[in-house]
Structure 1
Amino acid sequence: MNADLIIILVLVVLNIPVYRFLYRLFFADDDDYEQSVKYVFTPNFVSFFRGEYWKDKIDSARVKFYILFCAMAIVLEYVLLSKVIHYFRS
């Protein structure tokens, strides 16, 4: 396996507490999360006719931002860690 892939996999596992922290910031409880995920997979026109268009947009955005922030944490840590490793190798 490539060393970079191993580093990324280790970061994914070590960041589980970060994911949980972000989860608590974005969602009130498990039901809130499940409803938000439901809106991600519900077409907008269906939500529009149900009268839930803006709730759909907001909840979909929360899920997307949660995923984005989790991914950004891994990318930022990987960049910093690779710079530290490069510094000590040279």
Structure 2
Amino acid sequence: MRILIVEDEERLAILTRKGLLQEGHAADIAATGEEAFDWVAIASYDAIILDVMLPGMDGLAVCRTLRARRVPTPILLLTARGAVEDRVAGLDAGADDY
């Protein structure tokens, strides 16, 4: 699988990528929503791991934009926010899991 990690905390992004690589997956890292759009435009992904709290455009807006652009790739939102309202907002934005 090829996975896009959208995470602005470099250490967490690198650790996530390392774990995915150890499991035999390919992984790219984007630190912002704009970088994620650039990666999605040039590569095909089997999944996107998307942080909700990003600088500039937040993860929910990134998710909505990807879905508006008809990107069918499954999206997993990754965040410390765990309230029911946050999960509902993420799924309503087009995420496949939270």
TM-score bracket relative to the smaller structure: under 0.3
Greater fraction of residues in helix: 1
Q: Which has the higher contact order (CA 8 A, sep 6+)?
A: 1
Task: Give the TM-score normalised by the residue count of structure 2.
Answer: 0.24
Greater fraction of residues in strand: 2
Task: Give the TM-score normalised by the residue count of structure 1.
Answer: 0.26
Larger CA Rg, structure 1 vs 2: 1
